[in-house]
Chain A
Amino acid sequence: MKILVPVKRVVDYNVKVRVKADQTGVELANVKMSMNPFDEISIEEAVKLKEAGVATEIVAVSMGVTQCQETLRTALAMGADRAILVESAVDLQPLAVAKLMKALVDKEAPQLVILGKQAIDDDSNQTGQMLAALLGWPQATFASKVVVADGEAHVTREIDGGLETLAIKLPAIITTDLRLNTPRYATLPNIMKAKKKPLDITTPEALGVDVTPRLTTLKVVEPPKRKGGVMVADVAALVDKLRNEAKVL
């Protein structure tokens, strides 16, 4: 069984982003970029399925600028077998990414596509569900446990109020949540090996997909700032402030 894992190159989660003065976006120059944390979890899950003998091949896919190759090399070092870059300078929105993925799925015929639930830059939480719709496949989003057997995946999902377990027929889409696993670090020998693994480059044009953005960003601004905090000396002072100043008690 082949698994496709899309991995997005995003601003590292430790970076506090700054809005550009001209309000066109956020400052990306000289900012540390990393693999979207949820996509590390996806790769880890795919590698585990391979180690368990369920999966036979893991293909990592990234879409965007040339530098996404670094993200793909990380995926290869974590255990993906080969990689595909869909190179484009266009702002690729979730619907476009889902269409590009569909084109790749049509070629690669995987039984599973494991995506992150959310990219931590656009915070969209859309792509997996969209891909499932385009393919007519079932989806199990926000996964915290995955078991594959007998042409089905049993997936436990984090939902409001608790957990739900679904059985979905393969081929299927899974999106990962934080509790699914703890991603491994790429070891130095594996980073060296990853350099020799195949990485193919294609384009939206070659895949015949129109990636024109449907949403135009008119402006990006900083959110209103909370004013600096007041430190109180003790519990009595706190209760007094809550009662008489904030009036929330």
Chain B
Amino acid sequence: MAVLVIAEHDQTNLKPGTTNAIAAATKIGGELHVLVMGEACKAAADAAAQVAGVAKVLLADASAYAHSLPENCAPLVKDLAANYSHVLVAASAFGKNLMPRVAALLDVAQISDIIAVESADTFVRPIYAGNAFATVKSSDAIKAITVRSTGFDAAASTGGSASVESIATTADSGLSRQISQEVVKSSRPELAAAKRIVSGGRGMGDGDKYRAVLEPLADKLGAAMGASRAAVDAGFVPNDYQVGQTGKIVAPELYIAVGISGAIQHLAGMKDSKVIVAINKDPEAAIFQVADYGLVGDLFQIVPELTAAL
């Protein structure tokens, strides 16, 4: 049986997690199809067709899918799912919003946030903020899965030559509509896919200091910027900077944690980073237990020094 991956995209380009979900699907085996739902999203479908391993792209182009409203998208996925053994999506805000709705329409369980594929019906997923890994086996005919991007190296975005097939679309449910959207445009790399991340916590003091101290370092490194929950709650930075159990899960090559104590919930989001650097004035801070390199001292002195030394 074939496997279906739901693409996340901005109508033109695929979002990073999509190629990781495709990589997970490749491990399951079977012919790989990608569903692109959106409005005027042919370019995204063409991008999906080029991803290595993809055999066919299903293009559902209708205004009902413009804002990814799950009330409109889930019924389409549900109808298509009958032809597939597995339906996968990245465990992003988009995927987490949509997939459980699909699973319930299909009367199947969802396997959330998988980090490994053991076999066609058995997967590994973190529980308790990543303090335990559970191996779970699904008894359902169709497996509905969200994929944690850090568990799978992204499939190559070129090399494929899949066909793109337009499919019948479904109507607007009339139950929901988008009123507005505030998406912060940034020239920095996306947090979830960045190779380097500079992350600040409550120790930054306030938003102005967060920016004044950390932006020059991030600029030098070409890094994305992240934060702890405390920094977000205090309004230093927007909510989507939050790294952790209930924010973004990241695993860059380099993660620099500045003025972050290292609560379990924060570690859950970054402890798979390749190299972790911690800067904190408290030598007992838990962050040092996961840091490859720790530097004890005042961040307001250390970070500018570090920026200058690079």
Chain A residues packing against B (C-beta within 8 Å): 11, 13, 16-17, 19, 26, 38, 93-95, 98, 117-118, 120-134, 137-142, 144, 154, 157-169, 172, 177-179, 214-223, 226, 228-232, 234-236, 238-239, 241-242, 246, 248-249
- Asked, given contacts A123-B126, A126-B110, A221-B133, whether A162 binds B181 with beta carbons under 8 Å apart, the answer is yes
| B264 with A229: CB separation less than 8 A | no
By Cβ-Cβ distance, the 8 closest A-B pairs, closest first, are: A129-B100, A133-B104, A130-B104, A214-B109, A138-B175, A126-B100, A162-B183, A138-B176
Is B35's beta carbon under 8 Å from chain A?
Answer: no
Nearest CB in chain A: distance from B275 CB, A: 5
**By the criterion CB–CB under 8 Å, are A179 and B232 in contact?**
yes
B contact set with A: CB distance below 8 Å: 15, 67, 69-71, 74, 92-94, 96-105, 107-113, 122, 126-140, 173-184, 192, 196, 229, 232-233, 238-240, 245-246, 248, 253-254, 264-265, 271, 274-278, 283, 288-296, 302, 305-306, 309-310
Tell me, in angstroms, the Cα distance from A235 to B303 when the chains sit together: 9
Q: How far is the CA of A125 from the CA of B247 in the complex (A)?
A: 12
**Least Cβ–Cβ distance between A149 and chain B, in angstroms:** 13
Q: Say how far A213's CB is from chain B's closest CB, in angstroms.
A: 8
Q: Classify the interface of chain A: helix, strand, loop or mixed.
A: mixed
**Chain B binding site: helix, strand, loop or mixed by DSSP?**
mixed
- A-side contacts of B306, CB under 8 Å: 235, 238-239
- A167: contacting residue among B131, B139, B179, CB under 8 A: B179
- Of A137, A154, A160, A177, which is in contact with the most chain B CB atoms at under 10 Å from its CB? A160
> What chain A residues lie within 8 Å of B184 (beta carbons)?
161-162
Extra 16 A-B pairs, beta carbons < 8 Å, given A159-B94, A223-B131: A16-B264, A94-B100, A94-B109, A123-B128, A142-B97, A160-B15, A163-B239, A164-B181, A167-B176, A214-B139, A215-B138, A229-B289, A232-B294, A232-B295, A246-B292, A248-B275
Q: Of the candidates A123, A229, A248, which one forms a contact with B254 in the assembled complex, judged by CB atoms under 8 Å apart?
A: A248
CB distance from B145 to the nearest CB of A (A): 11
With contact pairs A142-B93, A229-B293 given, residues A179 and B127 touching in the complex (Cβ less than 8 Å): no
Query: Given that A129-B101, A179-B239, A235-B305 are known contacts, is A246 also in contact with B275, CB under 8 Å in the complex?
Result: yes
Q: Is the CB of A221 within 8 A of B132?
A: yes
8 Å CB contact of A178 from B113, B131, B229, B274:
B229
Determine the chain A residues whose CB is within 8 A of the CB of B74 once the complex forms.
133
Name the distance in Å between A241's Cβ and chain B's nearest Cβ: 5
Distance in Å from the Cβ of A65 to the closest Cβ of chain B? 18
Give every chain B residue within 8 A of A167 (Cβ-Cβ): 176-179
**B132 with A17: CB separation less than 8 A:** yes
* B74: nearest chain-A partner, CB-CB: A133
In angstroms, Cα B275 to Cα A232, docked, is 14
Q: Are A178 and B233 in contact (CB under 8 A)?
A: yes
Alpha-carbon distance A220/B173, docked complex (angstroms): 41
Contact between A215 and B136 (Cβ–Cβ < 8 Å)?
yes
Q: Quick one: closest A residue to B69, CB to CB?
A: A166
Distance (whole angstroms) from the CB of A157 to the closest CB of chain B: 8
Contacts of B107 in A (CB 8 A): 95
Question: What chain A residues lie within 8 Å of B173 (beta carbons)?
Answer: 138
In the assembled complex, the Cα of A238 lies from the Cα of B294 at a distance in Å of 8
Check if A216 sits within 8 Å of B132, measured CB to CB.
no
Residue in B closest to A160 when the chains form the complex, CB atoms: B93
